[in-house]
Amino acid sequence: MSTSAPARPFEPDFAAAAKDAVLSGVIALGIFGPLVGLRTTQNMSNQLIVESHWGLVAIIVGIVAVGRFVLRAFVFPRMAMWKAQPKVESTAEPSFLRRNIKTIGLVFLLFYPVIIVSMLGYQQSIKWVDNFGIQILIYVMLGWGLNIVVGLAGLLDLGYVAFYAVGAYSYALLATHFGLSFWILLPLAGILAAMWGIILGFPVLRLRGDYLAIVTLAFGEIIRLVLINWRELTNGSAGISSIPKVDLFGWITFNVADPNYVGKVFGLANSSAYYKIFLYYLILALALLTAFVTIRLRRMPIGRAWEALREDEVACRSLGINTTNTKLTAFAIGAMFGGFAGSFFAARQGFVSPESFVFLESAVIVAIVVLGGMGSMIGVAIAAVAMIGGTEILRELSFLKVVFGSDFNPDLFRMLIFGLAMVTIMVWKPRGFVGQREPTAFLTERKAVSGSLVQEGHG
Amino acid sequence: MELFLQQFINGVTLGSIYGLIAIGYTMVFGIIGMVNFSHGDVFMVSSFIALIFFLVLTTWLGVASVALALLIVMVISMVLTGLMSWTIERVAYRPLRGSFRLAPLISAIGMSIVLSNFIQVAQGPRNKPVPPMVTESIALWERNGFTVSVSYKQLIIIAVTAVLLACFWFLVQKTSLGRAQRACEQDRKMAALLGINVDRTISLTFVMGAALAAVAGTLFLMYYGVVNFSDGFVPGVKAFTAAVLGGIGSLPGAVLGGLLIGLIETFWSGYFSIDYKDVAAFSILAIVLIFMPQGILGRPEVEKV
């Protein structure tokens, strides 16, 4: 399968494309033939039997072969031509939308629940505020928190979910055992998570590159396994349930039985939508706090030290920057925001179990940071909306049952499509969605630079 | 003493499986410096391929001899898993070669998610138990009512691993393909200048790693008699630990590391608590990386400005 461009780019090379298509069809048959065509199921007497689904295999092989043919005959020559053309630097002023994307996004986020409620009413709004709004914002916040470690300091952390778990369990345990308020436990959870960030960060500082990634992964798994096995404290895999709800500093609560229940205070009908809307604004505030702190820190010496560390660690050390402290603060501050998000998560769910803190979650958060373009805050937000919102939307695709039959379950395909999207986006844009970075230090004018000029760090 | 011996036999068996998977990690890391995150899931898929063909052979085609069925299944699984790994490398990793360091890692994590979810969709989320294939065992030693025994399954695993490693060692040390591989490992650009087809060598490295993982997958299915779509991650991480422990990039190191991890795991479950055996494996990974990043048989990494 040579990828050399044909001599005349306008004329598709059908012979080569046909050969390619046949070859990829054969390969697809080899891979999907047994795995899709022969499905193992249990029969009535609980024995494994094999049943065949050759029709499905034929469809998949057909799609692969035709897809490969189209790619080879039409798409690749076009792309080669497009690449061969000299790039024209666009001098035009960026469009209104592009210039004001942050303001527009912020205003939209502020009014999002209002829009949804006015369109669908309280009861119908719950799903959209909770599954989309809150869920996406949690990942935006986690992405921004991890962005400090991965995007700014250039330390690849594959165990970020551990700090999320520390935050969630801190709130869950302290609130259920001691009845402390969310507003006391939120900073406490952040501090505890930051402490764990330092404890875990300290031994791994000597490591670089993939080794650091693997050790952080190991730490993440250790914390999860301890949560599963330390049954006396954490109740093991069963998790901790009936975690108290958040209230508004004790003035207004969201339990129907309380005298100052929100419905009684404002004379509204009972609905669980108020709590969801409150939680939405809470996580929005927390996420914006993360963004604000990150933006401010980037202009402070410590933030500049992080970015310098990412660009060149050896140069950094020779300039007298204490790399140990720099890395530790990045770990601790990133972990702190993970802890905040974790305690919010526990309050929102009312239930935590080790199931929520598997490696996949860390992978999703890292993927959001890298897919967004490491270090770009707006990119991280876009990636979170695309990846989390996209997979949440897949839950809503029940109309596909009409097409694929009633036993079709779009939920099953969520993570499959998520993984495919990760691979596709990386192959298509290895530098992530947002390819530009705004420098914090500049000589005369602030000029966005291409993301490919930014180093990815060694740690 | 009896417990020690028994756990030693169990540990060597488990370690052989880890060692076979670890070779895939260590070879890929050696040649392109990438942690092939999806390798654990490739192992899991190979186990499924073995399961499917074992069922086809025994129930549809009526092959009565378990040994023959296992042999055929192993070969088919090696071929198909190799093909799959070749495709994955071609589609998800090759376009990213020379790109920045995190891109192939993220792509590999994505691929790992794809593989496990693909199996979940295609084969269903439930455990897949197969009837025990080999049940006989030999009692080695009996004292105070405690029998130290080695089952035929364990003997098969250890023998197959030893034979394969010998073949594999020959392939890497004595053939032109192995020479090309070692050359690419040392200096890819120079190897290309000397007329080695680097892309092809890398592809073949992936195929060889996957074929060994397929052997491990078949043996895993035979040993435990059950496989699940989520079975790739933990053996994958442990095999990676083995590769790191032995010194990543070193083939004897991968096998040694695999045996050590298998022994540590079984002794830990035998003498301490079975609940924390994975914690032990992960802690060893962290400790080894922190205090001995070059591993037992690896070369120390020199930092250059």
The mean pLDDT value for B139-143 works out to 75
Residue A2 above 50 pLDDT?
Answer: no
| Facing residue for A30 by CB, picked from B55, B80, B303 | B80
What local confidence, expressed as pLDDT, does residue B207 receive? 93
Q: Distance between CA atoms of B141 and B3, rounded to whole angstroms?
A: 11
What local confidence, expressed as pLDDT, does residue A194 receive? 92
Domain ranges of chain A: 14-84, 96-240+269-396+429-453
| Closest-CA distance of chain B to residue A182, Å | 32
Q: Is residue A47 within 8 angstroms of chain B, CB to CB?
A: yes
Which chain A residues contact residue B104 at CB under 8 A?
Answer: 426
* B114 with A423: Cβ contact below 8 A: yes
What local confidence, expressed as pLDDT, does residue A1 receive? 43
With bands split at pLDDT 50, 70 and 90, how would you rate the model's confidence at A405?
A: low
What ipTM was assigned to the predicted interfaces of this complex?
0.85
Query: Over the stretch A433-453, which tens digit does the pLDDT of each residue have?
Result: 776 666 666 666 666 666 666
* B55 with A367: Cβ contact below 8 A: no
Which chain A residues contact residue B229 at CB under 8 A?
Answer: none
* B289 with A214: Cβ contact below 8 A: yes
Q: Which residues contact A88 (CB under 8 A, 6 or more apart)?
A: none
Residue A280 above 80 pLDDT?
Answer: yes
The mean pLDDT value for A133-142 works out to 90
CA end-to-end span of chain A, whole Å? 37
Q: Is residue B285 within 8 angstroms of chain A, CB to CB?
A: yes
Residue A338 above 80 pLDDT?
Answer: yes
Query: Over the stretch B68-123, which tens digit does the pLDDT of each residue have?
Result: 888 899 999 999 999 999 999 988 888 888 777 778 888 998 999 999 999 988 88
Residue B198 above 80 pLDDT?
Answer: yes
Residue A173 above 70 pLDDT?
Answer: yes
Domain ranges of chain B: 2-232
The most confident of the ranges A240-249, A250-259, B34-43, B127-136 is B34-43
Would you say B209 and B27 are in contact if contact means Cβ atoms under 8 Å apart? yes
Q: Distance between CA atoms of B49 and A210, rounded to whole angstroms?
A: 31
The mean pLDDT value for B116-141 works out to 81
Interface of B with A in 26-65 (CB under 8 A): 29, 33-35, 45, 48-49, 51-53, 55-56, 59-60
Q: Is residue B118 within 8 angstroms of chain A, CB to CB?
A: yes
Query: Over the stretch A52-94, which tens digit does the pLDDT of each residue have?
Result: 788 888 888 888 888 888 888 888 777 777 777 766 555 556 6
| Facing residue for A215 by CB, picked from B99, B100, B290 | B290
* B121 with A209: Cβ contact below 8 A: no
